[in-house]
Amino acid sequence: MPAPSYRSFATRLRAGSRLVGTFVKTPTSHATEILGLLGFDFVVFDMEHAAIGIGALDRMMLAARAANLAGIVRVAEGTPAAILSTLDIGAAGILVSHVLSADRARAMVEAARYAGGKRGFANTTRAGDYGMVGYGAHKAAQDRETACIAMIEDIEALDVLDDILAVPGLDAIFIGRGDITAALGGEAISDPRTTEIVRRIAMAATRHGVPAMTICIDSEDAGVMAGMGINAFMIGSDQGFMAKSAKAALASLSAIQEK
């Protein structure tokens, strides 16, 4: 069967489908294209923790769409301008870090939506097929196909979690196990204290009918997360995959190097 279209990512996410993705941190189109050809459902272009500028992101997004891969952008700042530029170049969704309040979640959603929101209009963009999609059709398609995802990664967010999850138009949350672990003074995202907080967040998301995503170590870890109700899983990154494979390749030739 043919793979679902990248345009259906937001719909599938909202429906609770099991989705698999990874981070892309290298400002090149090639890694994105390869990941799409391998069959990943989505990638998150990491503009927060990687040296990805808007020019590189434009090319990476083109590669994602060509490879039928949903390109989500973790914006460096959750400002309306940053959100608008990433959506106009064709992002399938936005991921905003450190959402600590319902107001921040609401502002993110408003910046990304036409209906009920404040997204600046332009259909002469990649998202609007360079003007070949009419006003009404463009607005409807973008509201339907754009995923708004809030990162819950701060201990402080736990006190207002229900308020955040109740924000209309919030499509999903991403549970940031790395930042939570760092805040707790842990050494790995498998820290039992982190796992307990993840469970608490996932249970709240389930109560509100909001899908949840997170990063996983391996398939066993993903199974534990799935058991908590999480439905979208990320593993590794393009840089991590390259380092792991390169390390294994180098080790395979160690005997020759020693001679």
Contact present, 28 and 238 (Cβ < 8 Å): no
Residue given tokens 């319902």 in the structure block: 102
pLDDT at position 258: 66
Residue 38 in tokens: 């391998």
Of residues 110, 216, 217, 96, the one with CA closest to residue 157: 96
Beta-ladder partners of 73: 45, 94
pLDDT at position 182: 96
Active-site entry in 49, 98, 138, 208: 49
pLDDT at position 142: 98
Q: How many CB atoms lie within 10 A of CB 41?
A: 24
Query: End-to-end distance of the chain based on CA atoms, in angstroms?
Result: 50
pLDDT at position 259: 60
Distance from C-alpha of 258 to C-alpha of 4, rounded to nearest angstrom:
49
Contact present, 174 and 213 (Cβ < 8 Å): yes
Task: Write down how long the chain is.
Answer: 259
Best CATH choice for the domain 6-258 from the list 3.20.20.70, 3.20.20.140, 3.20.20.60, 1.10.3720.10: 3.20.20.60
pLDDT at position 1: 72
Contact present, 201 and 172 (Cβ < 8 Å): no
Whether the model pTM is above 0.85: yes
3-state secondary structure of 121: coil
Instruction: Reply yes or no on whether 49 is catalytic.
Output: yes
| pLDDT tens for the chain, residues 1 to 259 | 788 999 999 999 999 999 999 999 999 999 999 999 999 999 999 999 999 999 999 999 999 999 999 999 999 888 999 999 999 999 999 999 999 999 999 999 999 999 999 999 999 999 999 999 999 999 999 999 999 999 999 999 999 999 999 999 999 999 999 999 999 999 999 999 999 999 999 999 999 999 999 999 999 999 999 999 999 999 999 999 999 999 999 999 987 766 6
Beta-ladder partners of 216: 235
